[in-house]
Amino acid sequence: MAALLLEIEPGDEVIMPSFTFASTANAFVLRGGVPVFVDIRPDTLNIDEMKIENAITSRTKAIVAVHYAGVPCEMDSIVEIAERHRVVVIEDAAQALMSTYRGRPAGALGEMAAVSFHETKNVTSGEGGALLLNGSAWIERALVLRDKGTNRSRFFRGLVDKYSWVDLGSSYGLSELNAAFLFAQLEHASELTADRLRTWELYHEGLEGLEERGLLRRPEIPVEIQHNAHLYYVLLESLDDRTTVIEELSRRDIHAVFHYVPLHSSGAGRKFGRPDGDLRHTEALSDKALRLPLWNHMPESDAVRVVEELAAVLTSRVAA
């Protein structure tokens, strides 16, 4: 919907990190847009705001700020760059519901934001999401796009005597069952977030010793950020280390996974997009990131066991 509202046309460019899920790029590629991939910061794994300006051209229409792991990007800098170049900032806040940046909620920092309610998210309807609009200029057309390209919302509000097909659109609304399932969780979103933060802190404290020994690196959270504990990841020494650790943890009935294959190195990424500059951090860190299990109401004993088993695996590798 954001790509439709921006009226992305063939050849228009959209700046985004390569370290993200394919949906971030697909939205614009489907309209003929060209994803321009820039590197990520080594501390947060978010888009490097210092690399954005160099990627802007006369064809740039938007900057997509992906809030990885529920940690918002350096939004003040990104918005300032966008305003100077008159391009739109879209937040990919898929993972960031209930996170804040300098006291402001993620999703309210750019002109548009996409939130996900996929089954892997903190608050879920199984599938689906939301488009957040931070300006009245987009609202009327967004209502039409959401409702199959018709002006039915105007009909329901008594503004027209009948509704008809007036624009592009699709069935973007949730079913009533999905919406009901979601609504119950939204009512308790603060409690769910607090519960996940408890598990996140258990991991963070429990893994401090392994970081001090140089066996892994824990997430870094900027002081101006309050994250939502969407996920907990560690960075290992190499791709070989990560592969071995995943296999060893699986033998111990612990499901740990890697995250994104960088889009710029994928087949579709090479076909539809292009990298801007050196993406060394994207390439290096994507090989090292390991996601640990984390879910709503995860028992403390499970988190402690994950820490203990990960420590045992890493220590045995050092000893070998």
Catalytically active residues are 121
Helix or strand run (H / E) with residue 305? helix 300-319
* Structure tokens, 204: 């963070």
- Say whether 166 sits in a helix, a strand or coil: coil
Q: How far apart are the C-alpha atoms of 58 and 294, rounded to whole Å?
A: 43
Buried b (16+ CB within 10 A) or exposed e, 70-103: bbbbbbeebbebbeeeebbbbbbbbbbbbbbbee
Residue whose C-alpha is closest to residue 186's, from 66, 98, 277, 299:
98
In angstroms, the CA 313 to CA 298 distance is 22
Of 209, 278, 274, 287, whose CA–CA distance to 244 is shortest? 287
* Helix ranges (DSSP H) in 125-263: 139-146, 152-156, 176-186, 189-206, 208-212, 239-251
Q: Which residue has the tokens 């740039």?
A: 60
Coil, strand, or helix at residue 69? helix
Task: Tally helices (H) and strands (E) across the chain.
Answer: 13, 12
Residue 99 near residue 190, CB atoms below 8 Å? no
Contact 145, 5 (CB under 8 A): yes
What is the Cα–Cα distance from 231 to 120, expressed in whole angstroms? Answer: 10
